[in-house]
Amino acid sequence: DTAVSQTPKYLVTQMGNDKSIKCEQNLGHDTMYWYKQDSKKFLKIMFSYNNKELIINETVPNRFSPKSPDKAHLNLHINSLELGDSAVYFCASSHRTGNTEAFFGQGTRLTVV
Amino acid sequence: TQLLEQSPQFLSIQEGENLTVYCNSSSVFSSLQWYRQEPGEGPVLLVTVVTGGEVKKLKRLTFQFGDARKDSSLHITAAQPGDTGLYLCAGLFTGGFKTIFGAGTRLFVKA
């Protein structure tokens, strides 16, 4: 069983389109995250949710809107996609805040053309 | 701006050599983690260090947290081709909701 699963794994779309990436974790974790990894492999946190509530929004454009329907899901919707949005997006979860391990999904490679 | 500087960015060595990767910051962290990432996969946790000055060993890997909890190092002894990958350090701030990652060290160990 996959602990943190993201779909789709690959996404190619045109500028201006709206797309969503889904994330589900079956670990019973309270906290979920979205990270963006650029072409240089720099991993940067975008959002952090705890018990379905937004905790961190790291100066992400408001074209990015996370939605957490329940503790096990954190989806990412992106409006009006731009070329600079091309990256690998990782969903992650952790049991609780603090010094705990974050489990990452396999990533979604988004390419905007 | 909170930064975690990781060095070197690239490292290509022969099997059997030793190496050290460094992470440095001006910020104080509640803990620091080291992850390893394979191509096409998400990062996987190797270790978490919590106490200033703490040293943890994982087989041939030795992790150290600086006394002031601002820096950390990863030392690999007798590197093997299987150690090839991207190594990421991550600093966690008090409260735990925010983690910042270093830029990563891409290690290539030649047989």
Total CB pairs under 8 A between chain A and B? 69
The pLDDT confidence band at residue B3, using thresholds 50, 70 and 90, is confident
Residue A52 pLDDT: 83
Parse chain B into domains and list their residue ranges.
8-110
Nearest Cα residue to B70 out of B5, B1, B9: B5
Structure tokens that stand for B58 in this block: 């994982």
- The partner residue sitting opposite A99, judged by closest CB among B92, B97, B98, is B92
Structure tokens that stand for B94 in this block: 């008090």
B48-103 pLDDT tens trace: 999 999 999 999 999 999 999 999 999 999 999 999 999 999 998 876 667 889 99
Asked if B46 is an interface residue toward chain A (Cβ–Cβ < 8 A), one would say: no
Roughly how many angstroms between the first and final C-alpha of chain A, as a whole number?
34
Backbone angles phi, psi at B21, to 5 degrees: -115, 140
A84 contacts: CB under 8 Å, gap ≥ 6:
A112
Across the interface, whether the CB atoms of A101 and B88 are under 8 A apart is answered: no
For residue B109, pLDDT over 90 is answered with: yes
The pLDDT confidence band at residue A97, using thresholds 50, 70 and 90, is low
Query: Which residues constitute the domain of residue A41?
Result: 4-97+106-112
| CATH code 2.40.70.10 for B8-110 | no
Mean pLDDT of A78-103: 89
Number of folded domains that form chain A: 1
- The partner residue sitting opposite B97, judged by closest CB among A43, A48, A90, is A48
Q: What is the CATH number of the domain that holds A85?
A: 2.60.40.10
Window B:5-44, CB contacts with A under 8 Å: 30-31, 33, 37, 40-44
Across the interface, whether the CB atoms of A102 and B99 are under 8 A apart is answered: yes
The pLDDT confidence band at residue A40, using thresholds 50, 70 and 90, is confident
The pLDDT confidence band at residue A99, using thresholds 50, 70 and 90, is low
Dmax over Cα atoms in chain A, in whole Å? 39
